Chain A
Amino acid sequence: MGHLADNLVLGFRVALGPLNLLYCLVGAVLGTLIGVLPGIGPVATIAMLLPATFKLPPVAALIMLAGIYYGAQYGGSTTAILVNVPGESSSVVTCLDGYAMARQGRAGPALGIAALGSFFAGCVATLILALFAPPLAELALRFGPTETFSLMVLGLVAAAVLAQGSLLKAAAMIFLGLLLGLVGTDVNSGALRFAFGIPELSDGIGFVALAMGMFGFAEIVANLEVREKREVFTDAVQALLPTRADLKASWKAVLRGTGVGSLLGVLPGGGAILGSFASYSLEKRLAADPSRFGKGAIEGVAGPESANNAGAQTSFIPLLTLGIPPNAVMAMMMGAMTIHGITPGPLVIRQQPELFWGVVASMWVGNLLLVVLNLPLIGIWVRLLKVPYRLLYPAILLFCCIGVYSVSNSTFDVVLTAAFGVLGYLFIKLQCEPAPLLLGFILGPLMEENLRRALRLSRGDPSVFFTQPLSLAMLLGAAILLVLIIVPAVRSTRSEAFRG
């Protein structure tokens, strides 16, 4: 434990430095801002802001980018409660009871308990990260290429299983992502692959272009399909602090939400969203009177909002210890780290302790800043929500274009982003989630490299993945996950077929 204390002291010394504190604040507030605004999420925002971090030291850059993700969890609830529109996809369930509370004139306590619950969850998740990341990283240090490849298989299978919508589609999107990741020069042979004679593609597809097109531009087009109409509950926000009765009704939900969120955040495919859904259904199941849910039950706000913040933070664990991004936002963080010359993985904690512990400590600092700043700032967020989308989306587009251009001063990248925007819209229409594709895209080159090394070591014998115990355990885990999900799916498909 003494070790942990030393490390946390180191972390806080880094996080409380004036520059890092400033960027923590900037990230957290920007995160809240885009969390409040529907139609722009943390993936596109991180892509947009990445070029702005180029001149920063890596610690400050990562502190700011991390702040965007958990800051967005604070902001998302505001829109859900006041407008009945999730500002962030992880606040979808908050709409149900949050908006109902707002209609009863209890928007204040709903906003208050969301912020307090998020803060509590953020503190716990920071501690979990500090406690569990180092031993996991030590374990991962012993992984050879065989184990690393199997781990990536497990991660991607879990991401496909836990993705929203169809497993088959998610799996196919992962493979497409892996393929897109191979575009460019093959590091091993120097051969140029899938470059179509375009010199700009010899370095591969920029992950900023891909993410911004699929998560930013495509989303804007989808939002423009229907004319916006928004009703903001502004007058209802008065007393922000929950009453004693509110606290009494919700503290257990906060605790449970934190637990569920922390656990599900670590899983590949998890992150903030999964935890919020799980927490809501858990609260509904445990409630003495489940019929209150959807009609303004405060537990229905407290639980999910705690869960999404906890999940946002614990999803850093697989990235920082195993080098595997569990969700799309972490895939962006992985790209950002690579651009800053850091290889995410088990070596980060050992080789760059000030970076790891600085980012961990900054999360606690950021949560504190958020809970202190967020409640007084709600007036500003509400006014912001009144800005019509027709003024917002050209601004988002412009900042995206400037951002993607600035990554390597390339107008080709801007055109490429537009191409991914069109592809992304096609996938939205066909209900294919882009998140698994982004995961595959980031992991593609790594997977190929580890497969190549593993097979070279085994002299081309693929059975090595099943004879090494750790690798076998991971592949078995993946197989069990697949069976668990496929069996009910097969059953429902068959019953569909029989009925039709």
Chain B
Amino acid sequence: MIRHPKDFFAGLVLLGFGAGAIVIARGYPMGSAMRMGPGYFPTLLGGLLVLLGLALAARAFWLRGDPVGEWAFRPLLLVHGGVVAFAVLLRPLGLVVATLALVALSRLGGWEFRALEVAALFLFLTALAMGLFVYGLGLPFQVWPG
């Protein structure tokens, strides 16, 4: 049935964004063409996005294409988990702890996790970041907890 899964799902995703934009923009005044309100342009764009998404998804029944392929859930979750952990830990605990979380989690998302190597990488990157950004550029970072 669906011959081009990538296009089909891309179409659905884009359609979803367009429909969402239209629904949300209903809460904003539309105005008129002469006096465009805040809802005018988003509704226009959302409508066009819905049409293109539909066309893309519909076309997937004719065109042929490769399957979407395996999702790399482990790196996806751990790399971005590391980034979010960095963001969450930065203010209360400082740059060093946040860096540790980022390096450790993102390495867990990769292929080889060697504890010693990760520790060395953490120390090197911490020193580099402190030297470049905290002392070199003077960016206002809290470095240590407390």
With contacts A169-B7, A221-B72, A432-B10 known, is A401 near B102, CB below 8 A?
yes
Q: Could you say which residues of chain B place their CB within 8 Å of the CB of A221?
A: 72, 75-76, 79-80, 109
Interface-forming stretch among A243-251, A291-299, A408-416?
A408-416
Contact B34 A459 (CB under 8 A): yes
Q: Could you say which residues of chain A place their CB within 8 Å of the CB of B36?
A: 188, 448, 451-452, 455-456
Q: Which of A172, A406, A456 contacts B139 (CB 8 A)?
A: A406
Q: Which of A55, A186, A411 contacts B87 (CB 8 A)?
A: A411
By secondary structure, the A interface counts as helix
Q: Could you say which residues of chain A place their CB within 8 Å of the CB of B84?
A: 414-415, 418
Contact A456 B38 (CB under 8 A): no
Interface: B146 (CB within 8 A): no
Interface-forming stretch among A132-140, A222-230, A341-349, A368-376?
A222-230
Q: Which of A179, A188, A430, A451 contacts B9 (CB 8 A)?
A: A430
With contacts A191-B29, A397-B79, A401-B86 known, is A168 near B56, CB below 8 A?
yes
With contacts A176-B49, A186-B38 known, is A169 near B10, CB below 8 A?
yes
Give the B interface residue count (CB, 8 A).
Answer: 72
Q: Could you say which residues of chain B place their CB within 8 Å of the CB of A466?
A: none
Of A179, A455, A459, the most chain B CB neighbours within 10 A belong to A179
Chain B residue at minimal CB-CB distance from A168:
B56
Interface: A155 (CB within 8 A): no
Chain A residue at minimal CB-CB distance from B12:
A430
**Bound Cα distance from A440 to B85, whole angstroms:** 30
Contact A222 B10 (CB under 8 A): no
Interface: A217 (CB within 8 A): yes
Q: Could you say which residues of chain A place their CB within 8 Å of the CB of B82?
A: 397
With contacts A193-B25, A397-B102, A500-B64 known, is A430 near B121, CB below 8 A?
no
Interface: A280 (CB within 8 A): no
CB distance from A350 to the nearest CB of B (A): 30
Q: Could you say which residues of chain B place their CB within 8 Å of the CB of A405?
A: 87, 90
**Bound Cα distance from A228 to B14, whole angstroms:** 32
Contact B121 A391 (CB under 8 A): yes
Q: Which of B6, B32, B34, B46 contacts A430 (CB 8 A)?
A: B6
Using a CB–CB distance below 8 Å, which chain A residues touch chain B? 51-52, 55, 166, 168-169, 171-173, 175-176, 178-179, 182, 186, 188-189, 191, 193-194, 217, 220-222, 224-225, 227-228, 390-391, 393-395, 397-399, 401-402, 405-406, 409, 411-412, 414-415, 417-418, 421-422, 425-427, 429-432, 447-448, 451-452, 455-456, 459-462, 493, 496-497, 500
Nearest 4 A/B pairs, CB to CB: A460-B34, A414-B87, A460-B33, A224-B75
5 pairs of residues in contact across A and B, judged by CB atoms under 8 Å: A189-B37, A390-B111, A397-B102, A411-B87, A432-B10
